[in-house]
Structure 1
């Protein structure tokens, strides 16, 4: 009993050290973005005289790519939830044969390497005229969002008490009304969780962006940063500023939706 406080302090110190090691690249990215143009190795450990010219350059050169990523990410969220929510409800509550087989197929899709999907989509997109289009990227990124959302939503929806659904049926509600007015509101945390992870999948996608876009008309921010490095090797402040701006939406969403994510990810298992 006397050693418990010492062990607790030691664990806290180890945790702080590990956290500092993991967050140091983030700190250095922000620090480098506030340094004058030039080699980042010549910059100080703290920007006592911050220079925001890198952010001006980043927003000027990468603003369109940020908007593209935002459009594609939001489109993937809408499409993924629009397909996954009814599918998860059907797998959780409707008497459908072969449910386990369907779930196994959903899991298998998560195991397919992305490069295989990207190569297959490139040939199909070339024939359908979907290369270099918002719709093409939304459909491609949804191939990762839909299976994940189905797994999360079904796990949560299975925990919804049957009495709630039966009470709605007694009141005369049909299956569509039950799904819209009962299941979806109760599953708000799971929906937010699925939407957040789908957004993050899409926002950080590089493979589909590299494979399915060949012009500057539709170019997500991940591909923009990749090509930006080759052009501005002597302007690391602009490169790091672009990385900071690209990381901001994901970081803000994670902070805002943290409690919903925790509830949505664990409620299905706890119930």
Structure 2
């Protein structure tokens, strides 16, 4: 039975519909940037198109929020390292008993409301001395990405041909060397995908940042913008500039890693 290709009008209609959906989704980002470039305008007096490039709002936002951006970067990178370490190679390749139960249990944790987990963590953190600490926030944010990382990494690791590992072991390579020299290079796409999503989860976290910090010693940019709105409710140009700056790292990473994401997500689906 012959399959006919879509006609040209249908293709054009699909393209137009896709562009309209994209425009609707990107409009909030455009308006955020547009407002940031007009720092002297009130929220209701912003022109649809900026008449010039006034970067005063970005200068003020970077001065006020620069330290918070660095804090978010440090915490997010630490959370990524924890996620990738816990999405363990041993869980997939060394026949850990109950591995499927562990994977299922990590998914169940995602059904628990975040505020419940945050309150429980706060009680534990007080006893452990992890409140208002980078390590405590890294561990908390890592819990957001661990389930996804475990599921993705395990599905990819179990698809690694056993013959390749056996050949390396016959050549005298130990478990650590096999992992570093054989498995990791083959798992690049899955590692990048897991790390990227773990970074995004940690970068956008607000609940743990608000609950597990009672001082300004460790203040991620999400909490900084929340407090910034209250302090600069009349200066929406600076507020929107801070929001734009906070979106830049995530956008850059998504653009740079987009080809690895598709390969990483589908890499473990076919053996």
Interval containing the TM-score (normalised by the shorter chain): over 0.9
Contact 1:122 1:212 in 2 (8 A): yes
Shift of 1:106: 2.0
Return the TM-score normalized by structure 2: 0.95
Aligned position for 2:113: 113
Tell whether 2:60 aligns with 1:78. Answer: no
Give unmatched runs, 5+ long, in structure 1: none
Q: In 2, Cα distance between the equivalents of 1:47 and 1:74?
A: 35
Shift of 1:39: 1.2
Counterpart mapping for 1:1-271 below 5 A: 4-84=7-87, 87=88, 89-271=89-271
| Per-residue deviation, residues 128-148 of structure 1 (Å, max 9, x unmatched) | 221111111001111122222
Return the TM-score normalized by structure 1: 0.95
Shift of 1:96: 3.0
| Per-residue deviation, residues 61-113 of structure 1 (Å, max 9, x unmatched) | 111111110110011111211222xx2x2232223332222221122122222
Q: Which runs of 4+ in 1 moved over 4 A?
A: none
Deviates more, 1:37-46 or 1:207-216: 37-46
Contact 2:39 2:238 in 1 (8 A): no
Q: In 1, Cα distance between the equivalents of 2:242 and 2:212?
A: 22
Give unmatched runs, 5+ long, in structure 2: none
Contact 2:36 2:240 in 1 (8 A): yes
Deviates more, 1:114-123 or 1:141-150: 141-150
Count of aligned pairs between the two proteins: 268
